Amino acid sequence: MNAFYGLFIVCALALAALVGVGGGGMTGLFAVAIPYAAVAIFVVGFALKVMCWAKSPVPFRIPTTGGQQKSLDWIPYARYDNPVNSRDTVVRMILEVLTFRSLFRNTTAVLGKTPDGKPQVGYFSEKWLWLAAILFHYSFLLIVIRHMRFFTEPVPLPIQWLDWADSILQIYSPTLYQTNLLFLAGLGWLLARRLLYPQIRYISNAADYFALFLIIGIALSGIYMRYVAKVDIVSIKQFTMSLVMFSPVVPKEIAPSFFVHLFLVCVLLAYFPFSKLMHLGGVFLSPTRNLPNDSRIHHHENPWNPKIKPHSYEAYEDDFREAMVEAGLPVVKQLEEEA
Ligand code: HEM
């Protein structure tokens, strides 16, 4: 049911753009007002979220560690899985962001049987999620970088090289981008695992499916435009450049499918700062990732601790010894000793 809700909302959004531009004459809204609003929401929302996280106090070291901690000099320790200084923590963070190392350690729980037939839980390495995540994220990145050709004139050389490399197989006309296939393959697996595995289906809510269907919708509408509808790229570039120059002009030759693509991208941008997709910014601020595990090397005092004047038991007894003896309570130091 949750998958259905996600799919339904994305289809309704796509239809809204199609009807709004095709029949409703709301081109100005979908082509100009919504894109500017979406970018503003994304930039302001992203910045506010990051600033809010950056302001959250983190009094203690709480890194998640995945290897031997540093202790005695002659015991080797896991430098990047259990870093103790800023340099190694930065290296660990870079490796995490670029290669998803923590996801590479992902395991799956399988209910099996012992030799004598009793039920037993076993844990196995599960690399498919990591592979799908890598395919999806890197393809997304390359597609977005390639799209910069719509927003720049002249198109910078690195973007032209990327375009050339991504279509190097020279299949089909217009040439097929490898990232399009890899993007769909990654997204397909991310969706399939939520639908196929009962445990993952159980913990998946409508927002999980919505994000996936929204990105799949963006990919499919883009692929449709390029390989099926073969939209008028010159008019589209004229339009995107006019948006960038803050003097929007919407050529009539632009097919409605472009506005479906653009509207879904706008929804993604506006939704991004309020969704789980904010892990893009959050990973850099996560104290489980960005702190060295140096609690055994440095004393970290909680800055929120109230300033308490310590009152030891000895001092307490000195203050109340007479009353304690009178009440029959045991004391460490007797009254005579004190005298
Ligand atoms: C989240 C951001 C976006 C994603 C993931 C995305 C994804 C895609 C994909 C997968 C394609 C298929 C062909 C290709 O890979 O180039 C495509 C095509 C296209 N996209 Fe996007 N897109 C995004 C944003 C935009 C934006 C902001 C615009 C313009 C304002 C745009 C305009 C187009 C156009 C015109 C095509 C057809 C390209 C061609 O025929 O060569 N896209 N998009």
Ligand 1 centroid to 262 CA: how many Å? 8
Please give all residues whose beta carbon lies within 6 A of any atom in ligand 1, as ranges: 140, 143-144, 146-147, 150, 177, 180, 183, 218-219, 222-223, 225-226, 231, 233, 236, 240, 258, 261-262, 265, 268
Measured in angstroms, how far is the CA atom of residue 263 from the centroid of ligand 1? Answer: 12
For ligand 1, the distance from its centroid to the CA atom of residue 285, given in whole angstroms, is 30
Q: Do 330 and 212 fall into the same domain?
A: no
Structure-token pair, residue 103:
């996801």
Would you give the DSSP letter of residue 33?
I
Are 150 and 269 in a shared domain? Answer: yes
* H-helix or E-strand spanning residue 79: none
Do 294 and 321 fall within a single domain?
no
State the residue range of the domain holding 326.
309-339
Do 182 and 81 belong to one domain? yes
Ligand 1 binding pocket mutation candidate from 142, 143, 183 (most atoms within 8 A of CB): 143
- Same structural domain, 8 and 106: yes
Q: The whole model's pTM is what?
A: 0.88
pLDDT by position in tens, the chain (length 339)? 899 999 999 999 999 999 999 877 888 999 999 999 999 999 999 999 999 999 988 888 999 999 999 999 999 999 999 999 999 999 999 999 999 999 999 998 888 999 999 999 999 999 999 999 999 999 999 999 999 999 999 999 999 999 999 999 988 889 999 999 999 999 999 999 999 999 899 999 999 999 999 999 999 999 999 999 999 999 999 999 999 999 999 998 999 999 999 999 999 999 999 999 999 999 999 999 999 999 989 888 888 888 888 899 999 999 999 999 999 999 999 887 655
Domain CATH number, residue 87 = 1.20.950.20
The C-alpha atoms of residue 93 and residue 64 are separated, in whole angstroms, by 12
Do both 168 and 314 map to the same domain? no
If we measure between CA atoms, which residue out of 253, 277, 327, 266 comes closest to residue 13? 266
Q: Are residues 195 and 53 in the same domain?
A: yes
For residues 191 and 243, membership in a common domain is answered with yes
Measured in Å, residue 222 CA sits from the centre of ligand 1 at: 5
Q: Which CA distances in Å does 338 have to 314, 316, 319?
A: 12, 14, 12
233 CA → ligand 1 middle, Å: 11
248 & 264 share domain: yes
- Say if residues 195 and 201 touch (Cβ distance below 8 Å): yes
Closest CA to 17 of 6, 39, 33: 33
Nearest to 182 by CA among 222, 138, 148, 214: 138
Return d(Cα 24, Cα 28) in angstroms, integer: 11
Q: SS3 of 271, please?
A: helix
